[in-house]
Structure 1
Amino acid sequence: METEIRTLGEPGFAGDDSVLPFEVDGLDVRGRIVQLGPMIDTILGRHAYPEPVARLLAEAIALTVLLGTSLKFEGKLIIQTKGDGPVDLLVADFSTPGDLRAYARFDGERLQAAQEAGMITPAELLGNGVLAFTIDQGAYMQRYQGIVEMNGESLEAMAETYFRQSEQIPTLVRLSVAELFDRDAEGNPRQSWRAGGIVVQFLPQAPDRMRLPDLPGGDAPEGVEDFYHHEDDSWSEAKALVATVDAGELTDPEVGAERLLYRLFHERGARVYPPVPVFDRCSCSRERLGEVLRGFSAEELTDSVEDGAITVQCEFCSTAYKFDPDEFGG
């Protein structure tokens, strides 16, 4: 089956919760863009996260679906932060072709103290630690993991650093999150979440055009200037165009992904591929959790019993599974 490719401006609309791949021949760039609506609102609403935590997790989700839908094999992409801040863990787990689950872990008291002190930037909430990109190609393949230090940068900047270090591909990432307030049909107040993002990569046919300057080593003699590296004109233009995107445009349903791409790149021959839908789907199951419990010792099983049953709740989707201890010989 041939892949459908459309020139921007032709009929078609990706809509919410679909990642739209695109390429711009005139600038030698490829990328993906997404607007997330009902899916991300469901995930965040399920856990009733405090606003700063919801924003952080929404960014991680948008980044994960942008990168995960580019996988050419059956597998997983897991993006995870682990730090010493009030929000000590973010996990977004994408399984091909389009299943996403995510959750955040935070210390409520430390988070409240940080908010009262006005310390609500991503760097302050996440603290020092690492951002890990894990690619899992299945049981018979070795996992690949790339690690980026969390050093006060945004998730966007850390993702760009990851591609520069691991793939040597010039990459630009923009992420945006919006909390919307309106009223339902009966006039009652209503709140919902949206997120959007775009990733653009420079992939010319001549690999030498893609070369970036080396990262500073920090050991040059005092007074010696860094070597100037001329950036490819096409990549400079692509970055300048993406820099014009307002954060609100990435989440505005009235703009839409294709309309935004048209605004940015139509003069350079932008084309889009079929959108890839993404879904709020957890991979947990009663069978899988039962297998985990079967690995418990008799003492551990006994300690897990409450009100005559063993209850296990999935951290991702909050589904609670109840087991009879007799199933495990308890």
Structure 2
Amino acid sequence: MTDNLLAALGLDRPETGDDAVVPFTLDRLDTRGRVVRLAAALDTILSRHDYPAPVARLLGEAVVLAALIGSSLKFEGRFILQTQTDGPVNLIVVDFDAPDGMRGYARFDREALVKAAEAGRTGPAELLGNGHLAMTIDQGPHTERYQGIVALEGNTLEEVAHTYFMQSEQIPTQVRLAVAQITTRGDHRPRWRAGGMLIQHLPESGAAVMADLPGDGNFDNPGTADPDFVEADGWAEARALLGTVGDLELADPDLSPERLLFRLYHETGVRVFPPQDLEERCTCSADRIENMLADSFSDEERQDMAVDGEIEVVCEFCSTAYRFNPHQFLARH
């Protein structure tokens, strides 16, 4: 990166690599945002279950979206993104354990997926089908969860994210997501990579930038925006420029988030902040599962679960197998 480019971005550090989120602001456009770049962390999540490529791509998009939103949390807690639909990929769950941990899982109907592939219908919207997407913020024990639910009606995750922010936060938001498999020289297999960018229009004046939406925040009866609403010029420009970025640019291992931001917004000015590293991290543990078995099931039910004298519980996220003797729970009562 040249000295002029460093000065333009206000950088006093090296360019950001993979598995990180980079916050930024576009002050002249009253816009802020984040760029996420994932490599090894995402490859671990997607390769662990050997998902078919269309399923892996969709789960990868969900992981990027969860990282873009979850990385904005200002407290230690969890952001949970979950879809439940009637499509070939009928369940996706992504946990973002603030400030930097991620895990994800997808459940799919293999027969329905084969039929969709034969018909050439393996885009995100077609794999999801109809259902809903829930985004939950969990600040831990003794606090109330916040949950927003938005319909998935044949839309992509990008489109659903836009609807979610309109209904829940009433903040104009634009999202771009991209997932790719890239083979590097000397590597024995393609590796999954992904990138994403989220921008939001937040003028310093605090003035309303979009029409109020009726509803109580639970989105059971989502409203519609005022047809007379006029989009702010700064936001229109920020959104239009983001619309020019291609999937390859978002996932390119040789294009840092800083260079991407400069490429998009150097004429309007962009201010970049220090990155936050991200990692694949599962929160399962033997103690948690043991407590779950003890508290949620009777002695008889635990005996029925046992095979060859052992209860085996496999984490859906990381595939770790935990084994317990059903008799060990008798001492807890």
Q: If the length of structure 2 is used for normalisation, what is the TM-score?
A: 0.90
- Quickly say closer, same or farther: Cα 1:116–1:310, change in 2 above 3 A: same
Q: Give the Cα separation in 2 of the matches to 1:233 and 1:61.
A: 31
Partner of 2:302: 301
Matched, 1:60 2:62: yes
SS in 2 for 1:115: helix
Aligned letter for 1:207?
G
Partner of 1:210: 209
What runs of 5+ residues in structure 2 fail to find an aligned partner?
1-6, 215-220
Aligned letter for 1:264?
L
Partner of 1:35: 37
Partner of 2:114: 112
How far residue 227 of structure 1 moved from its aligned partner, in angstroms, is 4.2
How far residue 182 of structure 1 moved from its aligned partner, in angstroms, is 4.2
Q: Deviations over 1:103-140 (max 9, x none)?
A: 00011111112111222122221111000010111111
What are the within-5 Å matches in structure 2 for residues 114-193 of structure 1?
114-184=116-186, 189-193=188-192
How far residue 183 of structure 1 moved from its aligned partner, in angstroms, is 4.5
Partner of 1:247: 247
Partner of 1:3: none
- Quickly say closer, same or farther: Cα 1:7–1:325, change in 2 above 3 A: farther
Aligned letter for 2:189?
R
Q: Give the Cα separation in 1 of the matches to 2:212 and 2:168.
A: 14
Q: Give the Cα separation in 2 of the matches to 1:66 and 1:7.
A: 24
Partner of 1:270: 270
What are the within-5 Å matches in structure 2 for residues 93-104 of structure 1?
93-104=95-106
Q: Does structure 2 conserve the Cα–Cα contact (< 8 Å) formed by 1:170 and 1:212?
A: no
Partner of 1:229: 229
Q: If the length of structure 1 is used for normalisation, what is the TM-score?
A: 0.91
Q: Does structure 2 conserve the Cα–Cα contact (< 8 Å) formed by 1:184 and 1:190?
A: no
Partner of 1:281: 281
Q: Deviations over 1:12-44 (max 9, x none)?
A: 212100000001111111000011001000110
Aligned letter for 1:326?
H
What runs of 5+ residues in structure 1 fail to find an aligned partner?
1-5, 221-225
- Quickly say closer, same or farther: Cα 1:89–1:218, change in 2 above 3 A: closer
Q: Does structure 2 conserve the Cα–Cα contact (< 8 Å) formed by 1:209 and 1:232?
A: no
How far residue 168 of structure 1 moved from its aligned partner, in angstroms, is 0.7
Q: Does structure 1 conserve the Cα–Cα contact (< 8 Å) formed by 2:170 and 2:212?
A: no
Q: Does structure 1 conserve the Cα–Cα contact (< 8 Å) formed by 2:167 and 2:222?
A: no
Counting aligned pairs with the same residue, the percent is 53
Q: Give the Cα separation in 2 of the matches to 1:127 and 1:25.
A: 38
Q: Does structure 2 conserve the Cα–Cα contact (< 8 Å) formed by 1:59 and 1:177?
A: yes
- Quickly say closer, same or farther: Cα 1:284–1:203, change in 2 above 3 A: same
How far residue 229 of structure 1 moved from its aligned partner, in angstroms, is 2.9
Number of aligned pairs?
317
Partner of 1:323: 324
Q: Does structure 1 conserve the Cα–Cα contact (< 8 Å) formed by 2:210 and 2:229?
A: no
SS in 2 for 1:120: coil
How far residue 271 of structure 1 moved from its aligned partner, in angstroms, is 1.1
CA RMSD of aligned residues (A): 2.3
Q: Give the Cα separation in 2 of the matches to 1:72 and 1:253.
A: 29
